[in-house]
Structure 1
Amino acid sequence: MIYQKGEILVRRLSENDKHLLIKWLSDPMVLQFYEGRDRPHDLEMVDKHFYDRKSQDVIGCIIEHRGIPIGYIQYYPLDAETKIKYGYAVGSEIIYGTDQFIGDVNYWNKGLGKLIVSSMIDYLTTQKKAMRVVMDPQTWNKRAIACYEKCNLKKIKLLPKHELHEGEYRDAWLMEYTHPKETDTL
């Protein structure tokens, strides 16, 4: 287990979770927002994208609500190349990125996204000592952006043609949560 907050439990991804990722990432409703409807995942794709990682710094997790697996979240420290791309100084500042989706559409629009994101931010700032947590939703994904803003992330930079989604490169927002201790020293 990574952490538990209320009815949400976040645990490390296991081999037994492959079927969940295949199911969720074969649903066109989920794919519309994560990976793209032109990229339904089979076992080979799930292995490649979630298990055969070159970087062991990316920690993949399953999100459970009341013991039922409902989604996926991953977190990772930003490497030097990504820090430069996003406009941060390369140095000792600890910055984490996250990506997530609720894969069971029966759990959409219930306020769980805010709980999931805010609890991950809390985990990263308290346990991993992150000074900043960043996400990069595509600009058209109004629902994700609204959720992140409710979790005190702010749009700080437009990332043009940032991500390939459904056959075209899409713009994204770099959104940032800055730990209050960090803002006290500015």
Structure 2
Amino acid sequence: MLFQNGKLKVRKLTEQDKYLLAKWLSNPSVLEFYEGRDNPFDVDKVNEVFYASEEDEVKCIVEFEDNEIGYIQFYQLDDEMKKEYGYFDETIYGTDQFIGEVEYWNKGLGTLLVTSMVEYLVEHKQADRVVMDPQTRNTRALKCYEKCGFKRIRILPKHELHEGEYRDCWLIEYKN
């Protein structure tokens, strides 16, 4: 287990989790803001994207009351990404997350998850800042992140290809 905050646990992804990811990432409600409804995942695609990639993300499953409910990943920004976002020498981490079990939406668990992850990154990874780049139209997520102490920094125009269209995103940050 990576960390626990009360009934919330975050643990590293295991091989068995591919079935959960395929379930969540084939749900149109989840895909509306994460990957796109035109981009559903089956187990083969989950294997390719989450297990075969060489990227430096730490990929995790989120549990609440011992039920697997979602996914979160974090990664340290490399120099190229720092430059793109306008940062320099600091230690900066990014995160991406979703609650895959929709019956757990609107219960404060996203706020608990993001707050707990920020605390983990600041305390254990010495993060100076934590950044995310949600789509500007994802108002529910933005409200959650702002409750967690994130501030909107600037618009990233046409930053993410989503459902066949390049979408504007917000660069948001939590500054330690």
Is TM > 0.5 for Structure 1 vs Structure 2?
yes
Post-superposition CA distance 1:77-130 (Å, at most 9, x none): 0011100110111x3x11000000000001001010000000000000001000
Q: What amino acid is the match of 1:22? A: A
Runs of 5+ consecutive residues of structure 2 not aligned to the other structure: none
Post-superposition CA distance 1:106-159 (Å, at most 9, x none): 100101000000000000000100000001000000000000000000000110
Counting aligned pairs with the same residue, the percent is 61
The number of residues matched between the two structures is 176
Q: Which residue of 2 aligns with 1:32?
A: 32
User: What is the distance in 2 between the residues matched to 1:8 and 1:149?
Assistant: 20
SS of 2:68's equivalent in the other structure is strand
Which structure 1 residue ranges, 4+ long, deviate > 3 Å from structure 2? none
Q: Which residue of 2 aligns with 1:62?
A: 61
SS of 1:38's equivalent in the other structure is coil
| Backbone CA RMSD of aligned residues | 0.6
Residues 23-102 of structure 1 aligned to structure 2 (within 5 Å): 23-55=23-55, 57-89=56-88, 91=89, 93-102=90-99
Q: Which residue of 1 aligns with 2:112?
A: 115
User: What is the distance in 2 between the residues matched to 1:7 and 1:171?
Assistant: 35
User: What is the distance in 2 between the residues matched to 1:69 and 1:52?
Assistant: 22
SS of 1:143's equivalent in the other structure is helix
Runs of 5+ consecutive residues of structure 1 not aligned to the other structure: 180-186
1:170 is displaced (CA, Å) by 0.2
Give the structure-1-normalised TM-score. Answer: 0.93
